[in-house]
Structure 1
């Protein structure tokens, strides 16, 4: 309801009542497969000539809200169209997230482009699942589709339903939210947002020591889709088939604008699409906008002033939908290119109140600050040193899988800027000295972590903070990865116990840009997650979702080697 009221106020500001709109919300699009997709179309009566159409291709059937989004498009000189995937609203067939979207997109776009109100040009936009559906739509590119604007795009098999091959309990909540009903009603929203219910469930599974695969049965509604997803822990053909192949990326020559955030759970997906497109098509007309935004903020009409306790620089705050519609004007109406797109990669430097620009991610900088994990500790804090430790001393860590005290109620705080450093009980803290001059970093956290363990696998939790001069902690990176998938997300490579193993951080962590202030310190937190709300990797080598506490058998013993280091890219 709050969203509806907000949109109502926005539309009023656009002088909504001075214009008339034709709204049709019971349209069905016949597909060659025999199925039908339902669509909502809003067209400005005051503009009789055919116009470009802007399509939102959605699993979230909320007609009242979607009519408002379509009206926004109409106010900017387009026809607004929302199309629901199979099984949602009036669309026929079974709801199968991700499965049929690419197959149906060509017919859907073909239908839109041939309507009397469309001039034959189609653009697509939207966030989260609606970001994914755009990438599905370009697998077989329809000539009428001229551009896409994926915001916070879900990277299927990359960051959802697992992140770096680690399954998260949220996936079950989302399955029920997105698939149980044809419409998103108040009851669906209430259950989805019922944190007490889901916290109890995740904590119960965690403390019981049962397998992650038993989560759906514990919840009371066994889910075939949940089990199907768990059966594919690698990024295999099951996931890859939903989005473009290398050959399809190579042929993708339409302009693309990707918008993503440093604190967005789907940043990995957005960067994955950007990299794949550019790797396979060096001439790709693909622009990237990155800033200090989270998943919710990226779906709002304007970037908020605060994100999880962190106040954004004024330069970071822009109207998301203005950029989106200005882009459509540029591509579909030969308008000027949006001013903030000064190069292909555009990123906001936190703390500097500015934007930087580069032609590629690799061109941001080739200089690094290299810090080794030094095995010298004082008051529970180890050193991050630019000099490698010469001795043979290691940092020893013991993980007791039977200790299930890290439940959701006492897990790491979600604030980005906080007065305390909230870490898990199985984490180590490393700290630099104070910076004597400001340093500007940009990019993903790079480096190598070398260790010896007594098991066949383990998961890693990696965090990077700036400890400000006033003692507060600013979270810059918060990520997880599975050691056995660190080299190749499509193939599990188990660890040989007792033998040195090296995990590459490159390509496994989030992008962030920040001006580290004079007097600040950098804090690196390295841990092994044994937490509620996610799989627990007991290291047996079995499929992790099937492991139980019985597979723990003995504690995990980790010896972190002093050759381990992290790299920070300096711009």
Structure 2
């Protein structure tokens, strides 16, 4: 190449680079210590384009280190927002003592009030973030701070009790592992290396010491299985309907926050006291678990390219509309619900959740009394039982609880996942009842909230029933779609548990959560029932003694399916 050509190319590259730099706003970062009402200073990063005299503000309050959000914060700042990321009280560079959720409402209010007084804030503030960071939004919003215009609470709760407890069972590995990394570790203390022994330890009230040191707030959570006044500081469910804020709710079916996030959307869309607020709610419901929002690969399943989503980009679009554009563009959401239909792996749209056009359809359990294991005689059909079928029974041994997913070298017990994984190894256990349909000749599509209605008994004062809904692929792969659990003594109430009587038959309803899927041609529908989902939920000692009890009992649990007691799974199907 001639020298003149080389110079010309270099000049063009220089001009292109200069033009790109001129088009891309420069973003500065400044760390300030923001005072709370009690004088505690919280470390706060402010990202902004210095050329903007005033702009709307996006706030994140996090216990997971504000420095980890740098790239997203810069992206939002480059899009014309002032982005503010704050370490929660007692975490990383902030002063004070961290106690989960205790100060998040008040500190959130104070942070938003401080933002409103800054010369670069135009008075319009939004919040974003997932999980604990999503909870900081609900808690701050519930304080009604001036200037808060919209929130985007991703994969989070408005009732922490209902996130930590489901059907009276505790999400044990989730909170214990979180506590081991988010509590102050005394000098010389070490985290347990024997998580199985720790998670099996009785009484439950001592598990924090088994982790390695005293964690009073964890002990409190473990020892209050009833939905009572202990949980009031994180119980916002009845109050959020008073909020007048546009909200974007994002979560996955496999996320342990799925019920809470979807429930919050439904509450705000259907029950918000302000009619305009009802029309400014959006739900995005995908095939993800808690750590995989926006990805295609979840557990053992690749949901394809359509499952890939830019979650930060979705937030950004929301804030462009409801924060940056101002009240003049504050209209209702055109598509309130976008949900991913697993199996066909496509996105669908709806005006509500559950989507309209689906009909509740029962699928009945059948057997000759030998539904134990995948090789048993359990079947699942549209037809209710007409004869006196023999009940199925299994023994639930607290010393050997049924696992939530297969334990492997790569997935030790403490790393049990909520994601879809092949259930066949678990279905070899005698304490698992398996009911399978015939192969479908036409696809079956369902979307909504699934549940199981079972007739059951146990010979112990308490027992658990775990119900899994499964898509059996033509090659045999058994993909868990949804799961629910109910602790027997909580069958009628979260607040007033009642022990069971030996041998008495009870009708129970097990919530399987929100789900949308297609059972394809050649696939089979399956239901597994067992007495534990360990360690994702604590195993039931079956004694009814509660979190301070040390004893265990092996329970003989029965599931009845006859003309008088037709146990069934109820799915919202489309025909």
Q: Secondary structure at the match of 1:315?
A: helix
Once residues 236 and 526 of structure 1 are traced to their aligned partners in structure 2, the CA distance between those partners, rounded to angstroms, is 29
Q: What's the CA shift string for 1:478-518, capped at 9, x where partnerless?
A: 3323233344333323323332211112xx32212112111
Matched, 1:254 2:250: no
- Rg larger for: 2
Q: Superposed, which structure 2 residues align to 1:424-435 within 5 Å?
A: 425-435=430-440
Matched, 1:472 2:477: yes
Matched, 1:77 2:71: no
Does structure 2 conserve the Cα–Cα contact (< 8 Å) formed by 1:442 and 1:513? yes
Residue 322 of structure 2: aligned partner? 331
Q: 1:567 aligns with which of 561, 565, 570?
A: 570
Residue 343 of structure 2: aligned partner? 351
Q: Superposed, which structure 2 residues align to 1:152-171 within 5 Å?
A: 152-154=155-157, 156-158=159-161, 160-167=163-170, 168-171=172-175
Q: 2:548 aligns with which of 546, 558, 563?
A: 546
Once residues 499 and 289 of structure 1 are traced to their aligned partners in structure 2, the CA distance between those partners, rounded to angstroms, is 43
The 1:447–1:169 alpha-carbon spacing in structure 2 relative to 1, beyond 3 Å, is: closer
User: What displacement does 1:289 show?
Assistant: 0.7
Residue 296 of structure 1: aligned partner? 291
Does structure 1 conserve the Cα–Cα contact (< 8 Å) formed by 2:156 and 2:257? yes
Residue 53 of structure 1: aligned partner? 57
Residue 201 of structure 1: aligned partner? 195
User: What displacement does 1:374 show?
Assistant: 1.0
Q: 2:390 aligns with which of 383, 388, 394?
A: 394
Q: What's the CA shift string for 1:359-392, capped at 9, x where partnerless?
A: 3224434413311111235731401122222233
Does structure 2 conserve the Cα–Cα contact (< 8 Å) formed by 1:132 and 1:156? no
Q: Superposed, which structure 2 residues align to 1:124-523 within 5 Å?
A: 124-154=127-157, 156-158=159-161, 160-167=163-170, 168-180=172-184, 200-203=194-197, 205-206=199-200, 210-244=202-236, 246=238, 248-278=239-269, 280-281=271-272, 283=275, 284=278, 285-298=280-293, 303-334=294-325, 342-376=334-368, 377=370, 379-401=375-397, 403-404=399-400, 409=407, 416=420, 418=422, 420=424, 422-423=426-427, 425-505=430-510, 508-523=511-526
Once residues 464 and 309 of structure 2 are traced to their aligned partners in structure 1, the CA distance between those partners, rounded to angstroms, is 37
The 1:361–1:454 alpha-carbon spacing in structure 2 relative to 1, beyond 3 Å, is: same
Q: Bigger shift: 560-569 or 159-168?
A: 159-168
Once residues 437 and 517 of structure 2 are traced to their aligned partners in structure 1, the CA distance between those partners, rounded to angstroms, is 16
Matched, 1:24 2:18: no
User: What displacement does 1:570 show?
Assistant: 1.3
Q: Bigger shift: 511-520 or 401-410?
A: 401-410
The 1:127–1:413 alpha-carbon spacing in structure 2 relative to 1, beyond 3 Å, is: closer
User: What displacement does 1:323 show?
Assistant: 1.0
Q: Secondary structure at the match of 1:65?
A: helix
Q: Secondary structure at the match of 1:356?
A: strand
User: What displacement does 1:15 show?
Assistant: 6.8
For structure 1, the 5+ residue unaligned runs are 1-13
Q: What's the CA shift string for 1:398-435, capped at 9, x where partnerless?
A: 42526427578467886625484534552100011111
Matched, 1:87 2:82: no
Q: What's the CA shift string for 1:117-176, capped at 9, x where partnerless?
A: 111100100011111111111112223111111111145534543344322133122123
Once residues 162 and 425 of structure 1 are traced to their aligned partners in structure 2, the CA distance between those partners, rounded to angstroms, is 27
User: What displacement does 1:243 show?
Assistant: 4.3
Matched, 1:98 2:101: yes
Q: Secondary structure at the match of 2:522?
A: coil
Q: Bigger shift: 259-268 or 169-178?
A: 169-178
Once residues 381 and 266 of structure 1 are traced to their aligned partners in structure 2, the CA distance between those partners, rounded to angstroms, is 35
Residue 4 of structure 1: aligned partner? none
Does structure 1 conserve the Cα–Cα contact (< 8 Å) formed by 2:223 and 2:548? no
Q: 1:36 aligns with which of 32, 35, 41?
A: 41
Once residues 421 and 518 of structure 2 are traced to their aligned partners in structure 1, the CA distance between those partners, rounded to angstroms, is 15
Q: What's the CA shift string for 1:215-259, capped at 9, x where partnerless?
A: 22223212211111123212223324324352x323211100000
Once residues 203 and 423 of structure 2 are traced to their aligned partners in structure 1, the CA distance between those partners, rounded to angstroms, is 36
Q: Secondary structure at the match of 2:572?
A: strand
Does structure 2 conserve the Cα–Cα contact (< 8 Å) formed by 1:313 and 1:350? no
Cα RMSD after superposing both structures: 3.1
User: What displacement does 1:356 show?
Assistant: 2.2
For structure 2, the 5+ residue unaligned runs are 1-19
How many aligned residue pairs are there? 530
Q: Secondary structure at the match of 1:445?
A: strand
Once residues 419 and 559 of structure 1 are traced to their aligned partners in structure 2, the CA distance between those partners, rounded to angstroms, is 20
Q: What's the CA shift string for 1:19-48, capped at 9, x where partnerless?
A: 4322112x1222223333221111112x33
The 1:151–1:132 alpha-carbon spacing in structure 2 relative to 1, beyond 3 Å, is: same
Residue 6 of structure 1: aligned partner? none
Matched, 1:111 2:142: no
Does structure 1 conserve the Cα–Cα contact (< 8 Å) formed by 2:402 and 2:426? no
Once residues 343 and 396 of structure 2 are traced to their aligned partners in structure 1, the CA distance between those partners, rounded to angstroms, is 40
